[in-house]
């Protein structure tokens, strides 16, 4: 399941992010790549240890944690602290699958990468190329969203960032460990939750069928969730 979350950041917030990132300390993206990824990764990343990275990642996490569509689609247990990257002058990230398990920074905990996410910080018309290409069961999906919007997709997907041949593509990226491990189960719960929300608006929360479906949702969560 691919889920687009539009306007996680407002246009004003995007401008504030990009102005701050223009002054950030950038380094070769290979420094944070594994042995396999380093062979296909050509980009720059913001220094994770900088005060700027910490400030911006905290804003992203606060926005995600209060966004109903993100919470419904991801059912997050843990969120990897967001990172920031940029591509220009033909830089790209070749076909790869994200690592399945990652250590959480400044913690003894590990995170299982159920979902990957990209928050676009540059308007699509400002750069050429740079699509996030994801191989799905329905074929290749080319993703290039408006600045401030997020794409969520299964972390076990083969994906790549196409070469940026003009302009600069800046984004934030991160991973989520979900309370529900499998994509099919998350998709079922998401569809059910969206239907319950629509029926609640139409019929009210005290409608017997709304209550019945809410019970089904929570019983499935009780059965499928690991926490």
Query: Are 159 and 202 in a shared domain?
Result: no
- Quick one: tokens of 149? 């919007």
Query: Are 67 and 20 in a shared domain?
Result: yes
Query: Are 164 and 198 in a shared domain?
Result: no
Q: Residue 121 above 70 pLDDT?
A: yes
pLDDT tens string 141-193: 999 999 999 999 999 999 999 999 999 999 999 999 999 999 999 999 999 99
Report the number of distinct structural domains present in the chain.
2
Does the annotation place 191 within a ligand binding site? no
Query: Are 43 and 69 in a shared domain?
Result: yes
Q: pLDDT confidence of 19, banded at 50, 70, 90?
A: very high
Query: Are 13 and 46 in a shared domain?
Result: yes
Nearest to 190 by CA among 156, 158, 159, 152: 152
Does the annotation place 169 within a ligand binding site? yes
Q: How many CB atoms lie within 10 A of CB 160?
A: 16
Domain of 46, CATH number, reads: 2.60.120.620
Does the annotation place 159 within a ligand binding site? yes
Mean residue pLDDT across the chain: 95
Does the annotation place 48 within a ligand binding site? no
187: domain range? 183-224
Nearest to 180 by CA among 56, 81, 61, 77: 77
Query: Are 97 and 169 in a shared domain?
Result: yes
Q: What is the pLDDT of residue 12?
A: 97
Mean pLDDT of 198-210: 95
Q: What is the pLDDT of residue 36?
A: 66
Q: What is the pLDDT of residue 106?
A: 87
Query: Are 50 and 161 in a shared domain?
Result: yes
Query: Are 77 and 140 in a shared domain?
Result: yes
Q: Residue 38 above 80 pLDDT?
A: no
CA distance 221 to 134: 28
Q: pLDDT confidence of 128, banded at 50, 70, 90?
A: very high
Query: Are 19 and 126 in a shared domain?
Result: yes
Domain of 219, CATH number, reads: 4.10.860
Nearest to 151 by CA among 166, 171, 170, 127: 171
DSSP category for residue 226: -
Query: Are 170 and 187 in a shared domain?
Result: no
- Quick one: tokens of 45? 């990343």
- Quick one: tokens of 93? 């990230």
Query: Are 201 and 149 in a shared domain?
Result: no
Choosing from 178, 196, 216, the residue where a domain stops is: 178
Q: What residue ranges in the chain does DSSP mark as E strands? A: 3-5, 26-28, 41-42, 44-46, 76-79, 83-88, 92-96, 101-103, 110-112, 115-120, 128-129, 132-136, 139-143, 150-154, 159-161, 164-166, 168-178
CA distance 196 to 192: 6
Mean pLDDT of 198-218: 96
Query: Are 54 and 134 in a shared domain?
Result: yes
Q: Residue 37 above 70 pLDDT?
A: no
Q: What is the pLDDT of residue 31?
A: 74
| Under 8 Å between Cβ of 174 and 114 | no
């Amino acid at each position: 399941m691919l889920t687009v979350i539009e306007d996680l950041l407002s246009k004003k917030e995007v401008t504030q992010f990009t102005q701050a990132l223009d002054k950030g300390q950038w380094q070769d993206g290979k420094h944070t790549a594994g042995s396999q990824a380093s062979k296909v990764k050509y980009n720059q990343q913001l220094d994770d240890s900088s005060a700027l990275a910490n400030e911006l990642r905290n804003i992203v996490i606060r926005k995600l944690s209060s966004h109903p569509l993100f919470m419904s689609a991801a059912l997050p247990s843990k969120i990897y602290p967001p990172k920031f990257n940029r591509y220009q002058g033909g830089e790209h990230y070749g076909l790869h699958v994200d690592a399945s398990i990652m250590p959480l920074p400044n913690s003894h905990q590990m995170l299982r990468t159920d979902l990957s996410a990209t928050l676009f910080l540059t308007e699509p018309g400002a750069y050429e190329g740079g699509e996030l290409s994801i191989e799905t069961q329905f074929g290749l999906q080319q993703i290039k969203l408006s600045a401030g919007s997020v794409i969520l997709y299964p972390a076990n997907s083969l994906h790549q960032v196409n070469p940026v041949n003009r302009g600069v593509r800046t984004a934030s990226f991160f991973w989520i460990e979900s309370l529900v491990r499998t994509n099919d189960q998350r998709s079922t719960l998401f569809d059910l939750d969206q239907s319950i929300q629509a029926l609640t608006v139409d019929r009210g929360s005290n409608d017997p069928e709304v209550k019945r479906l809410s019970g089904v949702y929570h019983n499935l969560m009780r059965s499928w969730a690991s926490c």
